[in-house]
Structure 1
């Protein structure tokens, strides 16, 4: 069967439109998507880290929460990496060398976990360095996406962010099931050794980034201008009001740590099954992206946030059926219940997240893309850190331990209802639609501007405020393009 040149051209154009959302698959775009893909693939080690900390190092839920806080620090100080990338070129380039170094750091960190890490302190350092590796690469590719998203037409608004998130979700999907299967059959150290190879892919594709060399010496006036632009951006009500709202929404307490111990110690979920849960949530994430891209791109922010938060709080209460074992009385197996819960909540979380990605790119002025993007993100990352710490305090106050889950139902009620508390302030979010936003200019003080968050405003989300390889703290309900 032969195809005419026009037929081949039609097939190519159709593939570009459907697979790449209309973007030409240049080597640079493929490199950017590969970095996001690797971020998703790093989820291969997520369960291994969780069980390594719980079983091999015998850490308690409170200790794991403390470690999570330290590992999340690179994601809180991401503006620093953005500022360095924007204003301090290495060997004449602003992006490429940082990607190469981040990949090397990630490989070293994971190899250390596989070979020489045997104490809690050593594990904390290694995991924190792994987190640093992903945070740096995330800042770089985010800035590249922001630069290119600004040139999108109004009809294509958000397509590049959707494509990036799709690549990350695809990476998570590829390794989701195997994260549990390999852990159950080969152990955590083997998983860490395998994972160590993937960051090197980031170092390799960095050479495909199309970047013009600039002076190795940063221009003082340029740096001063960056700071001035950054100050001008963050001082506007149209930016800091939505940021404050999202901080409050993201800072509500979470039951993640206690719930992980409940599902493994009380319900007996083994690694292989938890891998299936990750497979379901990875698929759900892709479904959420597709739903937003197809049906919800024009829905106002306030509408999406209000209804997804309310519905998620209600659906989150269904976890009480699992905690109290009522699902068994209803004839629903623990595993089937967990899978269904994961699917629904992850789809909603992704839908709530996507519209903010669209406007985030359009807020960043030329020259400080990475810095402003990372600064806005770090605020909600800090809120996520506070969320885990508040959850740890509540877990301690309620007397929930590795084996005592008598008051876990109270923790579930508190964490779900608390997500509703910021809703009276929903007016702080922009009333506009993603497709109506201007591009390439600084936002005005009109209420049509928005900001970006690192994770959805729904508790127990696959997209945590920390990278996907960090401990699987809530496997039953289950951060990249940002």
Structure 2
């Protein structure tokens, strides 16, 4: 069966089903009001508002924690964390985020109060709020550098132990992120259930609308951190600090409470079919069968290899942004807001006009352009050709954001089409876990590749000699060479579109041996990720090159 035949067959069956449901509903007014038996969903109705609120708040957290909107001004500037340590913080969060796969299993197999999604959404938001509110009660540290005449004075070290405070806040944010993970994995599963009630031809509309809500959340978070943390202590230009990092944590705690309210009052969950609900034992057996699927394994290998190489970033990146480009939080907020609209626009345009475009060709084109644009912006800044925060952000981030929405659209549809009925959360979670576990690996690769060029020390950026510039440039070039490896994975593993993916899924075979190899590799990677994170967190081992240090033999 070729792609066109599969497409026509699915659309024909869907058309017959829609005609039947339309005739049935027109003959009975009572049935037309019964939401539980609608073949399709309307995401604009009141019962779906809570889902939009969940995606909005999820976008806020992903922008704040998984992105670097708050990490840069607080950890990178205020606490002055070393480049390798700064890169390790997102790796910590990625590992915590990966644990949501266990929440997915419980959400699929263990309903609470007769529901599989809503109770877990509420529990997750309550856990997140608890950690955020407790962090607000902690004594707030002083900044690393002092301020003289409304200017951050790099020769005046006010709090040399400031970076040690990072551990507490990383721990608090990790706890909050764990709760958010519980909530969002159930939200994502409910999103997939909504999407699968659409015909295949228009299935991407629900996903697009809800992800637009998520990006509006990211927009809010970007503006909040950009304007809120723009005082001199955070690398900004304002002499007065209107809010601090702890105030932002309080705001996010309140958002968690608001999200809990809307989840309880304005979110519709479809009834669970008792015949489709499996015990955990059978559910795990189903997961094991999914893992053995050749199609799932192929996508898992693609996601793993692509993530390991595409996300490699030099430990010099944050210092280039802070010392050379002089990027201020408010500028990050303004440009980040623009970027959010660009992402939304790219998703809408691609969904409307290019949804059937070859995923493979598009992804290869985008990855190559992102590598070239990022390298250009960083090298121009390093060699002092142009050192301007607006140029740096527009060239390095905004130009790449034009393509980001398309990659997100492809990734979301890939996960949605690959997920299995009654195991939406688990399949979705497995793919997300594989992607997240690549973050600590890519961080370790980036730190290790950068280590021989000695780009961790602040003195190198303050001196700014030609020798210093070339060392930093070599580190940047080395990481982009590694990035280019991710382009090769697209050609060999990524399907052309959702129709080819469904065709390959129908032809998929199962292999117990390959499944065991997959589980073994993922387990080793997970242990390795935890080990690398612990090594980067302990002061006695931060000097190791594997976590981006200069070697413990060079330690003073």
Tell me, yes or no, if the aligned pair for 2:120 and 2:182 is still in contact at 8 Å: yes
Taking the aligned partners of 2:499 and 2:305, their CA distance within structure 1 comes to 26
Instruction: Kindly state the Cα deviation for residue 169 of structure 1 after the two structures are TM-superposed.
Output: 0.9
Q: Which residue of structure 1 lines up, in the alignment, with residue 487 of structure 2?
A: 423
Is the alpha carbon distance of 1:169 and 1:379 closer, same or farther for their aligned partners in structure 2, counting shifts above 3 Å?
same
Residue 435 of structure 1 and its aligned partner are, at CA, apart by 5.2
State TM-score, norm by structure 1: 0.79
Aligned partner of 1:261 in structure 2 is 319
Report 1 or 2 for greater relative contact order, CA contacts < 8 Å, sequence distance ≥ 6: 1
1:309 equivalent in alignment to 2:367: yes
Q: Which residue of 2 aligns with 1:389?
A: 444
Does the 8 A contact of 2:82 with 2:457 survive in 1? yes
How far 1:354 sits from its partner (Å)?
Answer: 0.8
Q: Is the 8 A contact 2:450 2:479 kept in 1?
A: no
| Structure 2: gaps spanning 5 or more residues | 1-39, 141-164, 231-240, 462-467, 510-556
Task: Normalising by structure 2, report the TM-score.
Answer: 0.69
Q: 2:60 aligns with which of 41, 45, 48?
A: 41
In the alignment, the residues of structure 1 paired with residue 400 and residue 373 of structure 2 have an alpha-carbon distance, to the nearest angstrom, of 8
How far apart in 2 are the matches of 1:120 and 1:336?
A: 30
Residue from 384, 409, 413 that aligns with 2:473: 409
1:378-432: CA deviation from partner (whole Å, max 9, x where unpaired): 1111112211222122333321125225322222222222222243443433434
Structure-2 residue corresponding to 1:145: 191
Q: C-alpha distance in 2, partners of 1:424/1:99?
A: 38
* 1:81-124 deviation digits (Å, cap 9, x = unpaired): 10011122233332112111211122222223333165333222
- The CA deviation string for residues 241-284 of structure 1, in whole angstroms up to 9 with x for no partner, is 12212211111253265322221233322221121221122122
Which whole-Å CA distance do the structure 1 matches of 2:499 and 2:198 have between them? Answer: 11
Q: Secondary structure of 2:229's match?
A: helix
- Partner of residue 507, structure 2: 444
Give the whole-Å Cα distance in 1 for the aligned partners of 2:420 and 2:41: 24
Map of 1:92-111 to 2, 5 A cutoff? 92-111=114-133
From the superposition, tell whether residues 256 and 191 of structure 1 become closer, same or farther in structure 2 (CA, over 3 Å): farther
Asked whether the 8 Å contact 1:364–1:373 carries over to 2, the reply is yes
* Alpha-carbon distance change, 287 to 213 in structure 1, aligned in 2, over 3 angstroms: closer
Q: By how many angstroms is 1:335 displaced?
A: 1.6
Aligned partners of 2:314 and 2:475 also within 8 Å: no
Q: Deviations over 1:272-317 (max 9, x none)?
A: 1121221122122112212311222101221122211222222222
1:342 corresponds in structure 2 to 397
User: SS at the partner of 1:326?
Assistant: coil
Which residue pairs with 1:327 in the alignment? 386
SS in 1 for 2:484: coil
Aligned pair count reads: 419
Q: Which residue of 2 aligns with 1:400?
A: 455
User: Are 1:233 and 2:296 counterparts?
Assistant: no
1 CA distance for matches of 2:502 and 2:48? 23
2:343 aligned with 1:285, yes or no?
Answer: yes
1:168: how far off? 0.9
Change in Cα spacing, 1:256 to 1:288, as seen in structure 2 (3 Å) is farther
Identify if the C-alpha distance between structure 1 residues 55 and 420 changes in structure 2 by more than 3 Å, giving closer, same or farther. closer
Cross-structure match for 1:377: 432
Which residue of 73, 94, 97 maps to 1:51?
73
Identify unmatched segments of 5+ residues in structure 1. Answer: 1-20, 447-482
Bigger CA radius of gyration? 2
1:167 Cα shift? 0.6
CA contact (8 A) 1:280 1:342 kept: no
Residue by residue over 1:153-191, the C-alpha shift from the partner in whole angstroms, topping out at 9 and shown as x without a partner, is 133121111112111111222342332111123222222
Counterpart of 1:210 (choices 268, 271, 276) is 268
Spell out, residue by residue over 1:188-227, the C-alpha distance to the aligned partner (whole angstroms, 9 max, x if none). Answer: 22222222211112211221333477799x98x6223322
* Residues 1:189 and 2:246 aligned together: yes
Distance 2:300 2:85 in 1: 30
Tell whether the 8 Å contact from 1:111 to 1:192 is kept in structure 2 after alignment.
Answer: yes
Which residue of structure 1 aligns with residue 531 of structure 2? none
Q: Is the aligned partner of 1:115 residue 2:137?
A: yes
- SS of 2:454's equivalent in the other structure is coil
Cα deviation digits, residues 56-85 of structure 1 (max 9, x gap):
544322223333332222222221110011
Structure 1 counterpart SS, 2:393: helix
Counterpart-to-counterpart distance in 1, 2:191 and 2:261: 19
- CA-to-aligned-CA distance 1:220-241 (integer Å, 9 cap, x gap): x622332222222221222211
Q: Which residue does 1:464 correspond to in 2? A: none
Question: Deviation digits for residues 131-156 of structure 1, max 9, x if unmatched?
Answer: 11221222011100111212211331
Query: Is the alpha carbon distance of 1:37 and 1:443 closer, same or farther for their aligned partners in structure 2, counting shifts above 3 Å?
Result: farther
Instruction: Return closer, same or farther for 1:142/1:322 CA change in 2, 3 Å cut-off.
Output: same
Given that 1:146 and 1:362 are in contact with CA atoms closer than 8 Å, whether structure 2 keeps it comes out as no
Matches within 5 A, 1:463-474: none
> Could you tell me how far apart the structure 2 residues matched to 1:418 and 1:123 are?
31
